[in-house]
């Protein structure tokens, strides 16, 4: 049973790092959080976004990201589609939202569901 943050940390260490898509890690505080999560053995990041921004911020927080998978993409919707697609396909376990508006993520989630159902959601006229 999880009762505290310490319990979460212990469980994460026991289970090993989970592959995490990091969508647009373009903020120094966020990049620092990714660094600390990796150092603690919680995650194995897959960085998706603007290469120049990711490299600059990683350097700023002292994080060598050269060892991680990096997908260079500047279009916000494509960044979201790639990360959510990897999650849905089972290539990774978690997606983390960096500096990307939530609306892009909603679209990435909704589109595949519509396609599986064959188009627009059914509308009731009752």
Contact 70, 42 (CB under 8 A): no
Does residue 81 carry a pLDDT above 50? yes
* Domains of the chain as residue ranges with CATH: 5-117 (3.40.50.10950)
Parallel, antiparallel, or unpaired for β 43-49 and 69-72?
A: parallel
Using the predicted structure, report yes or no on whether residue 41 has a pLDDT greater than 70.
yes
**What pLDDT is stored for residue 115 in this prediction?**
57
- Mind listing the pLDDT tens digit for each residue in 57-80? 999 999 999 999 999 999 999 999
Give the torsion sign (CA, 77, 82, 83, 85).
positive
Q: Six-digit token pair at 60?
A: 């700023």
């Amino acid at each position: 049973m999880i009762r505290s943050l310490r319990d979460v940390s212990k469980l994460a260490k026991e289970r090993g790092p989970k592959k995490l898509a990091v969508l647009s890690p373009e903020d120094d505080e966020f990049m620092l959080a990714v660094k600390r999560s990796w150092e603690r053995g919680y995650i194995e990041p897959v960085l998706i976004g603007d290469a120049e921004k990711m490299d600059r911020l990683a350097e700023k927080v002292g994080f060598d990201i050269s060892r991680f998978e990096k997908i260079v993409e500047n279009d916000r919707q494509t960044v979201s589609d790639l990360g959510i697609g990897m999650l849905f396909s089972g290539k990774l376990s978690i997606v983390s939202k960096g500096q990307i508006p939530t609306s892009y993520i909603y679209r990435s989630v909704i589109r595949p569901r519509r396609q599986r159902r064959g188009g627009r959601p059914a509308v009731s006229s009752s």
